[in-house]
Amino acid sequence: MDHPSAAAIFNKDEARTEWHDKALWYVRSKRDLSAKSIPEWEQLRQIASAIKAHALSNLDNYLVEFEENAKKNGITVHWAQDGKEHNEIVHSILKAKEVKKLVKSKSMLTEECHLNPYLEEKGIEVIDTDLGERIVQLSKEPPSHIVMPAIHKKKEDIGQLFHEKLGTEAGASDPQYLAEAARQHLRQNFLTADASLTGVNFAIAETGGVVVCTNEGNADLGVSLAPIHIASMGIEKLIPKAAHLGVFLRLLARSATGQPITSFSSHFHGPKPGSEMHIIIVDNGRTEQLGRDDFRKSLNCIRCGACMNTCPVYRRSGGHSYGYTVPGPIGSILSPGKDLKKYSSLPFASTLCGSCSDVCPVKIDIHTQLYKWRQIIAKEHELPWSKRQAMKVAGYMFSHPNMYRTAGKAGRAMLKVTPKTLVNGPWNVWGKSRDLPPPPKESFRDWYLKNRVKK
């Protein structure tokens, strides 16, 4: 399904759309307050962006350095070209120790690789332990946001879900009560798991370790109890030095939720005594993206989610409408590189307002890349029919100035007298929950001729 159709389904429930919009805007406002409290914020973004650019420009050497140091720390390092190989490696590690239950903390990469269904098919129980992830896992949905996986759900939905799955009281929807129920349920799983898997926020070449950031402490509770720790990371997580963490940890949580830092920023440089630690380094299309001059910078992403929270389209269409593991503006520039045809509607799921680029802590030119993907999609004829027709008309108009002027005049006149129901008919997706501004009396050209040319 393309984005407009999926968004239309989401928009059917107007009150919920409104609520979703506000919930995310609230997070965006917290981010603003937090960012403004740091005088050097813009400088930090600049530095972060430059560190990422540098790391990408020397990535092969940093990966080798990282591997060497990780091995010295007693970590086993694996390499996977794609999701399938990643899943097979995870399975082989678990199989060797006859693991029955794996506890997992948040990892968009394992979502991308579809690890859970793969392992479940092999008879391994997988428990997502981040509360939001557990909620979507129990309701058999993918996450709708990379930081707040269950942001699309209301507390009443979660109350009902927990009533069915965890036996909480019927009708109970108090977040405190529900979170406590999840705590008890997950603690049992932490205590009985025989392996844990975490994502990676940053991997440090210089020290051969990885950093994982959580608020709940779920990654650490899993790792500190189970005898096996597997950390899965994309190749782009590499940063050269530990000192660079100072920059990224200052930016990450502030951009994500407005917190000064997450509750736990854990630095793993080897297994705990008597345990084993594995790191799986995954490509899965990233080296290809590295080769695309226009889109390379998307690999800077530190998955803070700020571009989603600020995006007027994401806020009003929900994460699921994108149909890709990473939704929102960043997902819309990553996904076409994976499958241009399948995701051809995503670069159009944007107003190109540029707010995503403004908030991005690593200065990815997201809206420019959206625009560039549009051009590629148009060239490769992956445009939807209605857009193609509109483009043809627009193209004709722009190459015939007289006609453009006449049409403009007619349009302004028409808008004044046409009833709103006709302007905002079902064919005008832009008219959904939105009114057109009143048409101006004269065109910019007329105004310019009158006021400027004469002088």
Partner 1 sequence: MSSRSKILDAIKKNKPQLSPLPEIPEFDNETVDKVAFLNEVMSIIGGVLEEIKDMDVLPSVVEAAYPNKKIIGSNIENFPLTTLDVNSIEDPHDLQNLDLIVLKGEFVVAENGAVWISEKDLVHRANAYITQHMALVVNREDLVWNMHQAYKRLELDRPGYGVFISGPSKTADIEQSLVIGAHGSRSMTLFLVG
Nearer to ligand SF4, 351 or 428 (CB): 351
Nearer to partner 1, 9 or 64 (CB): 64
CB of 182 to partner 1, least distance (A): 8
Nearer to partner 1, 269 or 303 (CB): 269
- Residues lying near ligand SF4 in the complex (CB under 6 A) are found at 255, 301-307, 330, 359-362, 364, 366
Q: Are 123 and 148 in contact (CB under 8 A)?
A: no
The single residue among 40, 42, 339, 380 that binds partner 1, judged by CB under 8 A, is 40
Q: Is 23 in the site for partner 1 (CB under 8 A)?
A: yes
The single residue among 107, 116, 196, 207 that binds partner 1, judged by CB under 8 A, is 207
The single residue among 190, 202, 314, 324 that binds partner 1, judged by CB under 8 A, is 190
Query: 443 CB contacts (<8 Å, ≥6 apart)?
Result: 405, 408, 409, 412
Q: Starting at the edge strand that comes first in sequence, how are the strands of the sheet with 125-128 ordered?
A: 75-80, 276-282, 228-234, 195-198, 101-104, 125-128
Stretch (H or E) spanning 118: helix 115-121
Among partner 1, ligand SF4, none, the one that 249 touches (CB under a kind-dependent 5 to 8 A) is partner 1
From CA 305, how far away is CA 366, in angstroms rounded? 13
Nearest Cα neighbor of 128 from 140, 120, 137, 141 is: 137
From CA 352, how far away is CA 231, in angstroms rounded? 36
From CA 49, how far away is CA 52, in angstroms rounded? 5
Q: Is 225 in the site for partner 1 (CB under 8 A)?
A: yes
Site string for partner 1, 137-176 (x = CB under 8 A): -----------xxxx-xxx--x----------------xx
Nearer to ligand SF4, 99 or 212 (CB): 212
* CA-to-CA separations, 447 to 250, 444, 453, in angstroms, rounded: 49, 5, 10
The single residue among 5, 29, 263, 406 that binds partner 1, judged by CB under 8 A, is 263
The single residue among 15, 60, 381, 455 that binds partner 1, judged by CB under 8 A, is 60
From CA 203, how far away is CA 129, in angstroms rounded? 22
Query: 261 CB contacts (<8 Å, ≥6 apart)?
Result: 249, 250, 252, 253
CB of 150 to partner 1, least distance (A): 6
The single residue among 36, 84, 97, 187 that binds partner 1, judged by CB under 8 A, is 187
> Which 8-state DSSP code applies to residue 436?
P
Instruction: Give the interface segment with partner 1, choosing from 92-100, 111-119, 289-297, 407-415 (CB under 8 A).
Output: 289-297
Q: Is 244 in the site for partner 1 (CB under 8 A)?
A: yes
Site string for partner 1, 96-125 (x = CB under 8 A): ------------------------------
CB of 231 to ligand SF4, least distance (A): 20
CB of 266 to ligand SF4, least distance (A): 20
Q: Is 217 in the site for partner 1 (CB under 8 A)?
A: yes
Nearer to partner 1, 247 or 326 (CB): 247
* CA-to-CA separations, 213 to 137, 169, 199, 302, in angstroms, rounded: 21, 32, 9, 11
Ramachandran quadrant class, 258 (left: phi over 0; alpha: psi -120 to 50; beta: rest):
left
From CA 297, how far away is CA 302, in angstroms rounded? 12
